[in-house]
Structure formats: structure tokens, C-alpha cells
Amino acid sequence: MDTMDTRVVQTEFSECMRQSYLNYSMSVITSRALPDIRDGLKPVQRRTLYAMYELGLSHDKPHRKCARIVGDTMGKYHPHGDSSIYEALVVMSQDFKKNEPLAEPHGNFGSIEGDGAAAMRYTEARLKKLTETVYLADLEKNVVDFVPNFDETEKEPEILPVRIPNLLVNGAEGIAVGMTTNIPSHNLREVLSCVMAYIDNPDITTEELLNIMPGPDFSTGGIVANQEELLNIYETGSGKIRIRGKVILEEARRKADKDKLVITEIPYTMIGDGIRKFLADTAALAESKKLPEITDISNESSKEGIRIVLELKKGSDVERVKNILYKKTRLEDTFGVNMIAISGGRPTLLNLKSILEHHLDFQIAINRRKYTYMLQEEQKKKEIQEGLIKAVDLIDLIIEIIRGSKTQAQAKACLMGNPADVTFRHRSSAAEAAKLCFTERQAQAILDLRLSRLIGLEIIALNKAYKDTCTKIKGYEKILGSRTAMLKTIRKEMERIAEEFGHDRRTVITSLEQVPEVKEEVKEEEVLILMDRFGYIKAVDPSALNRNSEQVKEYRHAFMSRSFSKIQIFTDAGKMYQIKVSDIPLQKIKDKGVPADNISRYDSSAEQILFVCDCSENPEQDLIFATEGGLIKKVSAGEFNTSSRMVASTKLAENDRLVYVDYYKKKQIVLHTEKGCFLRFPGENIPAAKKITLGQKGIALTEGDHLKDVWQVTPGEDTEIILHDRTIELKRLRLAAKGGRGIKLRLS
């Protein structure tokens, strides 16, 4: 049997995992999540735009199905799934998300209120004129490198030759591994003015740049309220921008009408579900009487823009309403700036000046390649034109050469100075032909020359074209030979872009004080606290006690408290947890409530709740504590009025647990053990102690026995319990001393 050579490679598993995770992280960072500083685009955006360019979807051509665009992008360039490609295409088409949309949508592409786009089989798109002119122009002029696609069957541009700092104009957001980028959008005209100012003065300060571009310009408008912090944000590349929606007051025109607060612009962070949440939050504030001035809320937004109307009561304090909306809803929000992009193949935190510097370097690089290519093309054209001009003067000889040649190759060789194989009519023509020295490109152009080009006017046009070509070559050489000329050319192009595509600023930049904390006057009220046997707790209006008294009896713990008070939860682990009553949801009696461990440190998986109360209501009353080990004591409820959320309620011996906690009702105590022993003794015999001490012996336990149940009984009253199907009358148990063995009853 043939044997195969095997080779076992031993490696440290942790090292293998570390390296694999690093490779994955870098792939996500550089190839998916973060934009490149040069064109400000992520790979999926770049590939989608290039696929549209290849499909010929220019702004003056019909729209094409998005499914076709997505299919071409995925099949040729981006093998990461159609949903990510379509989502990128949708976002690049939405004017409420992008300051300068790069694709022109046709169909349902979603809304500012969070409605999703229709399926890609129903929608269509094409490139915007801006995208063609500014993002994709000159690709055929070798301005950027082309690299193989994922399966090396196609070529794609490594970067797009974007003429504007797209990283600033359209901003960026992305979550990578261990880092995130969040760059606000800015006004196109202002950004280009900053670039031109930087060209004029490379030593310009960030403060001077902010005089030209005062801050972000969001597609949704709004107000940037912390202008004084922007200088630090743009110098460091990170920080928080405070943004507000724009609110105007529409006063009532008639007596029957009411004043209205109208929100016409929203913070950029409210796009999508944020609008629905704002409406819900505002309605909740109105219902809870925190904003009683609002009588009606309506969303009248349309294609014309945002219009959220809040109807007010007569005589309302408008400034108070605004302040509460800013403080309690997302009408004022923060935009976390973190200007990270891929620079030199690695993620880099950038400030404003470094972005402008990288952009200018990129523009110089692509323009150098562009004008080098154009110079070479003009030089080729000049060579041909010189050959044709020379050929006009020798046209008779050239015709004789062509007539005397058997093949085009012979004629071409003769024009280049090798007339050996050509038959001439005149001997002198051979000598003349031997003097010819056309280049190969000129010779081919002469052979391709149409006779109609020999007309007088055509010859004049040829000479004029030659002069134009010489002028262009001189201009291109000047641009390539002088940095000053190159910068002047770049500046001129930016002026043209700003003139053609620039628009006015939407977002107002100003300094506004933080909204003061709105103090709410809350009256202290009585509430009924209910907890069931599963640990679900809720607060109920006390009036429910009268209407639903039978239902209240079903709860394991039910007692009165106050809205500013705290309640205490005692567990078998000897711990006491405190919960603010204000943290307990106020619900109807039929509602379920919330688990106690959701609003406290109580661990339902390791502890069992024994007793719940409000110690502040009865600080002079005592609580009885009894443990499995048979220890018992009384502790004043006042000891548990503490500011701590969790304290030890008692000291426990090793492996001991609490089995009973309750208020002492000045009655007799009955203890019952696991092995059926009962002991009844006067409650006043229980010693008073501190919470930090052990209790005293309540009942003497035999080997392997432990305390199971505790009851408080009134002397002379019938108190019956049922154990193992046997009814026991506790008043018939002999009254004994605390700490005795008790009597053993046969229960089975």
C-alpha cells in the first residue's frame, strides 16, 4: 500500500488565534469599515460608483435598475453580499444623509423618518453630474493605479480621482474592530475655500481656517450650539459637537387658534427612528404632566421638509417648554467626532489641517499623472502633424512611392528611408526617397491620409491644429515643471467646482449655553408596594387597595410606602438590599411589575427573598431574624435606615442561612425543625441585638436537624397549620423556655 508523507506543524494555539484575529481586524479596518483619506470613500462605495461608471450611467442617460448595478458590483469587484452594496447605494442617494448625494435615485429610496428603501428590483439609479465631473473624471488618463479584482479577472481603480476633500464634504461613519470613525459633513463651497486658503498659505492656522469654514454643515440643517469647542475638535480630530433642532413659534392668528411650536429642522442624529422616538418621548412628557403645556402633537413632515407641530395651551411658558424638550428628548443631541481614516495603509486620527494637506498632496499626484499623460498624447499628435505637414510638400513623391510599392509594409519602409523594394518611374525619385526619414508613427499616418485632406482649407486647418498642439505642450510642460503653476491649475479647478456645485450653508454655528436642569416639582405621595412570590415588584395607587382588596391578598408582600422613601429586601443570604420607591414602576394592579433584580443588586439565582418592608415607616419596631442553625434575635428596624444599596442584615455562622425575617408583633414564637420538633416560647424572651452580631440559641437542634419554619401566634387564639396532611393546633403546644429542645410530633 502506498504511503503518504505527512508533516505535522506544531504551533502555540494562542499565537495562532492572535495572528488570525489580527489579520481579520486589519482586513475589516482597511478593506471594509474605514474610508481612504484620498477619496473619502469606503471600498464598497468606490466599487459601486465605478461599476455605474462602467455601465455608462451618466447623469444624462436613463436610470438603470439597482439590481443590475448591485449585480455588476458584486460579480466584478465586491464579493461581500448584495445587501451591503445596495445599502451603500441607497445611502449615497439620500439627500438627507449626504450633503452631496453621489447617485440620483428613482423610486422609493426610504425617508428621513426611517422608512427603508424598496427592494432593489423595484428601484433605479444613475450617477449625479457632480459624481461624473468631480469623482470619476479622467479615469482614462492614467491618473490612478488599477489593481486586479478579487478573482483577477477584472481591473478596478485602487482609488478614485476625487477632486474635493470628500472626507469633509460628505463625512463618514464606520465601525471597525477596536476603532470607529465618525466625521461630520461640511459645506462644499467652504471646504474648497479652505483648500484654496491652504494653497495660498501652508502655514495657515486652524483658527484662521475656521473663519472660512466655521464648522459642520449637516444635510438636516439644525444648530451647532458649542462653537467655542470647535477649535479644539478640529485641532485634535475628536470631540463632541452639540446640535439642536430648529424650533420656531407660530402665534395664534385667531382667538380660537392656539400657539404652536414648530420644529422645522432636526439634529442629524435624529434621522430615522429618532423622529418616532422624539414624538413618543414628547407624548410621554405631556401625559406624565411634565409638559402639561402641550395639548397636541402632529407630524406634518413632507417632501418639502420637516414640520413637527406641538400645540400649546394659552399662556404657556414657551422657553420652559423648549428647555424641557432640549433636556428630555433628542431635540438636542451630541455628535461624537472621531476623524479616523486610512492613510498610508493604516488607520490614522486626523485633524483639519492634516486632511487638507493629504488632499492637496493627492491632487498634485493625480494632476501630475493627468498632465503627463496629456503631454505624451499631445507629443504623439505633434509628431504626426509634423509628418503630415512635411508630407504635403512631398505629396508627388509619396504618391509615386505608394504606386510603386507592392505592400503597405514596403511603402512604410520607404517613407522611413529604405526604398530598396519600391519601383520608381523616375531614377531621380529613388534618390529623393532615400533621403526620407519619417518616423514609424508619421509613416503610418501618411499612409492613412485621405486625399481630401490635401484641399487648401484642410492644409490651413492642419497648420492651425499643429500650432494649438504646440501651445498645449508648452502649457503642460509649464504645469509639470513648476509647483506654482500646478497649484494655480488645481486652484482654478476648485474655483470652477465651487461655482458650479456649491450651495449655501444649512447649519447655523453659534454658542448657546447648556440648557439648565429643569427642576420638577414632585409631591410626595403614598404608594402601595406589591411583590409576588416570583420576585416581581410594582408600585400601585393606594386607591386600588379598596377596589381590588381580594387581589392584593394574593401577593406575598404588600405594604404602604411613600414616593420619596426606600424599601428594604431581606434575603436568606443575610443581606439587605435597598431600592428607591421612585425606581419602582408605577403600574396598575393587573400589570406584572418588574423583577426585583432588575432594579437592585439582588441576585435571584443565588438568594431567596424572605421579607420586604419600608423600615422608615416603623423605625422603632423590631425585626425578628431566625437562622437554619436555630439562632434567633431581634433588631431595631431603624438600624436599616442607611444610604447603602446593599448591607449585611445580620451576622451568620459558617454554612448558616436565614429562614425567617419579619416584624415582631409582640406574640409568642413557634419554631419548627426539619425533623418535626416544635418549641413555643414567649416572644419577649428573644434578645435584642445589633445587626452585626450573631443571634442566640432559639432551639436546641439534634445532629443533622435544622430550623425550617417560624410562626408568631397570639395566646388563646386558634392558629392551625397543616403539615404532611395533619392539622396541628399551635396553641396546644406546651409553652417552654427559649433554647430548649421542644417536643417532637409524629407527622406521618
- Please report which helix (H) or strand (E) contains residue 340, including its range: strand 340-343
Cα dihedral sign for 43, 44, 48, 54? positive
DSSP state of 574: S
Residues classed as catalytic: 122
Q: Which of 629, 596, 608 is nearest to 696 (CA)?
A: 629
**What values do phi and psi take at 249, rounded to 5?**
-100, 125
Count of beta carbons in the 10 Å neighbourhood of residue 716: 6
Q: How far, in whole angstroms, is CA 236 from its chain's centroid?
A: 21
Dihedral through CA 230, CA 236, CA 238, CA 240, nearest 10? -30
Provide CB contacts within 8 A for 422, sequence distance 6+: 401, 404, 405, 410, 411, 414, 430, 433
Distances from the Cα of 590 to the Cα of 104, 551, 552, 557, 595, angstroms: 54, 9, 10, 16, 15
DSSP 245-284: -EEEEE--SSTTS--EEEEEE--GGGTTHHHHHHHHHHHH
Distances from the Cα of 22 to the Cα of 10, 30, 32, 178, angstroms: 20, 12, 15, 11
What is the 3 state secondary structure string of 551-569? HHHCCCEEEEEECCCEEEE
Neighbouring C-alpha atoms within 13 Å toward the C-beta of 240: 4
Which amino acid appears at position 598 of this protein?
Answer: N
- Distance CA(550)–CA(535), nearest Å, equals 20
Which amino acid appears at position 349 of this protein?
Answer: L
